[in-house]
Amino acid sequence: MTAPGGTPAISIVIASADPGAVIHDCLTALAPQRARAEVIVAEGSRDGTAAMLHDRFPWVRVIEFRAATSLPRLRGVGMAAAAAPVIGILDPWCIPAAGWVQSAVIAHEERSELVIGGPVKLDSSERRSYANWATYLFDYWEFVPPFPAGAVDVLSGNNITYKRSALPDAATLGAEGFWKAFTNARLRQAGHSLRAAEGLDVALKRAIPLGAFLRSRFHHGRSYAAMRVGGRAFTARLGFALLTPALPLLFLARQARGLMRKPVARVWFVLCAPALLAFHLSWACGELCGYVAGAGRSDDAIRS
């Protein structure tokens, strides 16, 4: 299914920063669906991923960065280059369901919502690892199945699709990168709703050591805070900073309320609670630094 004039029906953007072998699994899952899609990999790796992509997936459009850069920056450049009227975002470690492309295209044809996504489950091959469960639950606890179709308050940034009209222009995306949280908040403030659709399922296949993940949450938190208060007076930033000590327990309590209702994740939440609290503490420290001192080098450190 393509738009008039041969334009692809959907552009799928994947930001790649040293993803390892898992990007092969992601693209292999997309290969049978590629007739309906343009697949763009914004590639900022130092591990030889670009050469592998050119060799094994010649149908993928690869945009190479010579210097390491952050995932939000990679996504923005990839989205700026997209040609289709619908733009989808996947991560290299997300394995889309067999009908993912068709489901996304049909959902946008049939629905008026500008933003449509779906659940994120932990891949069956990853379910014996404590570290994989802890990092999965921290990032994707709101999207653990069951995640029914319909109107929702939030969607995952690694399994989400947008009508082009919902997004900033190409110049802004290329220059500033793309942050799902801020874009979706802006759209909701303008009166637009978010929707989960049937068939937009992905399986997470991401193995990150706990120490590396702990460090990355600091950088995520610092970058998020810096963007949140960008341009505000120091007194306003200080007000946000004074609230950060309450964040770890607040966020952990939210996760408890959501996950204790989901049998597949209930036991793992209890087991992973100490690690989750440590991740929240790292994020809160990052937010504190971001509010007081800005992003520093954290923007370019976001690579997972």
What is the token pair recorded at 119?
Answer: 């659940």
Instruction: Give which of 261, 186, 198 is closest to 228, Cα–Cα.
Output: 186
Task: Give pLDDT tens digits for 172-188.
Answer: 999 999 999 999 999 99
Q: Collect all residues with Cβ–Cβ distance below 8 Å to 98 and sequence separation of at least 6.
A: 29, 32, 33
SS3 9: coil
Q: Which element (helix H / strand E) includes 90? A: strand 86-90
Angle between helical axes of 130-140 and 210-228 (0-180°, round to 10)? 10
Task: Give pLDDT tens digits for 27-71.
Answer: 999 999 999 899 999 999 988 999 999 999 999 999 999 876 889
Percent of the chain with pLDDT over 90: 91
Task: Give the integer Cα–Cα distance in Å for 191 and 196.
Answer: 17
Task: Give the integer Cα–Cα distance in Å for 188 and 184.
Answer: 6
Q: Which element (helix H / strand E) includes 74? A: helix 71-80
Confidence of residue 275 (pLDDT cuts 50, 70, 90): very high
CA atoms within 13 A on the CB side of 188: 14
Give me the pLDDT at residue 220, please: 96
Domains of the chain: 4-129+145-204 (3.90.550.10), 210-301 (no CATH)
Task: Give pLDDT tens digits for 107-150.
Answer: 999 999 999 999 999 999 999 999 999 999 999 999 999 999 99
Task: Give pLDDT tens digits for 198-222.
Answer: 999 999 999 999 999 999 999 999 9
CA 45 → CA 60, 71, 74, 301, distances in Å?
16, 11, 11, 13
Give me the pLDDT at residue 5, please: 52
Task: Give the integer Cα–Cα distance in Å for 147 and 195.
Answer: 11
pTM: 0.94
